[in-house]
Structure 1
Amino acid sequence: MGAVRPGIIRKWRLRPPPRRVAAVTAALVLAAAATACGGGGSAPTAAGGSVTATRNPVLPWSQLKPLADPRTYQGPTTATVADADITPVTTAPHPVLPASVTDNQGTKVTVRSVDRILALDLYGTLSATVYGLGLGGELVGRDQSTGFPEAAKLPVVTGSTHQLNAEAILKLHPTVLITDSTLGPWDVVLQMRSAGIPVVVVDAKRGIATVRPLVDQVAAALGVRAEGKLLGDRLDTQIAAEKAQIAKVVPAEPARRLRVEFLYVRGQAGVYYIFGQGSGADSLIDAVGGVDVATRAGIKGFSPLNAEALAKTRPDVIIMMTLGLQSVGGVDGALKLPGVAQTPAGRQRRIVDMSDYQVLSFGPLTAPVLDGLARALYAPGQDPATVPAGAR
């Protein structure tokens, strides 16, 4: 596949055209910046920090002292998950095959073997979901964004440009390929189907509300609906429990609630965006009790970063991907971006960064991601693993 040049958005030719334009377009914005962020760990949704650092010491919430007014905190924070490992719901799944499904694009697909699975998307969600279903041992490759520790040794078949590589895929002899419309070009998908590989295209949208449906789609395609129900139930319970815990530390007074904005930046590519409604960032901010100022300002999907937009949104906290923050020179560099220094967040240096592998993946690690962000927002600096953003 040809490289995606920085700053250029390429639309993959899908059949039928995707309905969720905002989600797909936002994903393509991420892909457009990939080439300029060279190296295996530098792709837009690749990890900030090492994938082998699986556990971070955290205190129970009962030992933390949430800020009465989190708007007053000064300084950057890195949000971390307590454990980056994914625990499968079973070590002995029982696929019921052949499994016939109609995928998200209306294509009828029959999967007869799950011995060699590829699950590829821009966010790294699909491989993590397969692992959570207990079929991690059948994964034979991964996309650039899959960063959970157990997958570290799998060969990458998308490269730093987040494009499907037909030769790399065929070399692995997959018996099934699960993907979505965030990766392209579509000709490679057609080539895989022509080669006799069942290809199941699942939903490309990411958010708290899509976690369970995506599990169900992947489980159905792999013939493990029972395991899918177990994983879906577990994630529903974990997310609900985490949101309930977060609700206890969110200031009850509306005026003290944090105004939060998600910035996607890639300094090498000159790509700077505000993520708004439908981008996934809105779902994340809502789940941690923040006020999603981009959505309130009418920003849909993504919008180029500019001083006028930031002056309108006035965030108390800016969330960024770790590698994105590093790409602009850390917090000092971020404050030089248009309008950032003039926001309440900029004046307080209140930037929260989190691993690119995790922050918008919305898969089996959703609850730990919410927990890590909540600690960084409401009890910053109180966990042993918390360090100043950009210090790693």
Structure 2
Amino acid sequence: MSASRRRLAALGLTLALLTGACGGGGSAPDGSGPSADSASARAAAAGKQLARNTITPLAGAAPTPKLPVTVDSSDGRKVTVEDASRILPLNGGVAEIVFTLGLGDRVVGRDITATFAEAGKLPQVTKAHDVSAESVLSLRPSVVLADTDTGPKEALEQIRGAGVPVVVLDPATKLSDVTTRTTRVAEALGVPDAGRALNRRMNGELAAARAAVPEGSRPKVAFLYLRGSAAVYLIGGRGSGADSLIEAAGAVDAGTAAGLDKPFTPITTEALAAARPDVILMMSKGLESVGGIDGLVKIPGIAQTPAGLNRRVVAVEDGVLLGYGPRTPLVIDVLVDRIHAR
């Protein structure tokens, strides 16, 4: 599952746009808290941005990298980056960070998980989730950004052996990882000030998104990872990556609450009965792979859950749901509105 969870790819609206969509801060007229209308307005704005599948770079001129820099790599090495003129991110979420920092014109290739529009015309250097060292080296990158899930390891060794600096990052699996990874990417590319500016923007957006959670609403949400054509039917638990999003949206991760301590567990009638989700969260392609909601409720046990009985299913595009990049605040906006809908 690590390959399928490798952060399929992610950016955000500016705080001004998001707060503007909130109707002046999102409080009900009596000051009792965010109104349903404000949450819906935020979700509508976020949905439009996600549908465009584009990034929102930092305002102002693109930063100029100050190099060389030596940074810690998550594979235990210290890596010196002397040139950021030809950047190759091997992770979709990392690619979104690079583009949002304002360095997109320096990116020379993409991983299969970089699905946002700005990366669409770049040459792809992965087949499935495996990196082709030959494809990478043919693009003459000056620095490669990978994560600990990137493989095969032999390919990374071949890239290093050719003299290309490879900075390895920890995967992002929870909300707090977004700013940590942004900081590390910005430092590796010699633009730490831009990294801090992006983190301030995202922290503001996340705070505004979470402020719209209605008081007293704590639905149970199960994340299902389905690939019908491959007969993959899994329910998320602790560490799935979706659990942190669900909690940030003011809900309870049903798998974790049911005692599923592994990131993913095969779906069984018993597991679904224990989880009893009020809402099911999925990736869009996963829902399509089982024939939409009509096909989903035919999976044994689904129709007997409150979510199945009420057909409460929330689907988010594969490339952004677990991307844990600058578009994550938009995902929270959408989840807050749709998970708590009555």
Name the TM-score class by shorter chain. Answer: 0.7 to 0.9
Distance 1:145 1:330, change over 3 A: same
**Residue matched to 1:237:** 204
Q: Report matched runs for 1:34-113 at 5 Å.
A: 45=8, 60-62=21-23, 66=36, 81-84=47-50, 85-89=54-58, 90-113=60-83
**Residue matched to 1:350:** 312
- 1:339 maps onto 2:301 in alignment: yes
> Unpaired segments of 5 or more residues in structure 1?
1-25, 32-43, 48-58, 68-77, 381-392
TM superposition shift of 1:91: 3.2
Using the size of structure 1 for normalisation, the TM-score is 0.75
Which structure's residues are more often helix, by fraction? Answer: 2
Q: Which amino acid aligns with 1:125?
A: G
Percent identity for Structure 1 against Structure 2: 45
TM superposition shift of 1:79: 11
Q: Which amino acid aligns with 1:82?
A: K
Aligned mate of 1:270, from 216, 231, 251: 231
Q: Which amino acid aligns with 1:238?
A: E
Aligned mate of 1:142, from 107, 110, 115: 110
Supply the distance in 2 between the matched residues of 1:243 and 1:46 (Cα, whole angstroms). Answer: 22
- 1:227 maps onto 2:202 in alignment: no
Contact 2:280 2:312 in 1 (8 A): yes
Supply the distance in 2 between the matched residues of 1:219 and 1:336 (Cα, whole angstroms). Answer: 46
Q: For structure 1, which segment, 360-369 or 309-318, has the greater mean C-alpha deviation from structure 2 after superposition? A: 360-369
Supply the distance in 2 between the matched residues of 1:155 and 1:92 (Cα, whole angstroms). Answer: 23
Cα deviation digits, residues 241-293 of structure 1 (max 9, x gap): 211122xx2x41xxx52110100000111111111111211100001111111
SS in 1 for 2:64: coil
Aligned mate of 1:151, from 107, 119, 127: 119
Contact 1:82 1:368 in 2 (8 A): no
TM superposition shift of 1:153: 1.3
SS in 1 for 2:63: coil
Contact 1:141 1:156 in 2 (8 A): yes
CA RMSD of aligned residues (A): 2.5
- 1:374 maps onto 2:332 in alignment: no
Q: Which amino acid aligns with 1:28?
A: A
- 1:328 maps onto 2:303 in alignment: no
TM superposition shift of 1:61: 4.5
Cα deviation digits, residues 214-244 of structure 1 (max 9, x gap): 0011111111111111111111111112111
Cα deviation digits, residues 51-95 of structure 1 (max 9, x gap): xxxxxxxx944599739xxxxxxxxxx996331432222432121
Supply the distance in 2 between the matched residues of 1:332 and 1:263 (Cα, whole angstroms). Answer: 15
Contact 1:144 1:156 in 2 (8 A): yes
TM superposition shift of 1:147: 1.8
Supply the distance in 2 between the matched residues of 1:305 and 1:200 (Cα, whole angstroms). Answer: 37
> Unpaired segments of 5 or more residues in structure 2?
11-19, 27-33, 38-43
Supply the distance in 2 between the matched residues of 1:156 and 1:371 (Cα, whole angstroms). Answer: 31
- 1:127 maps onto 2:95 in alignment: yes
Contact 2:3 2:129 in 1 (8 A): no
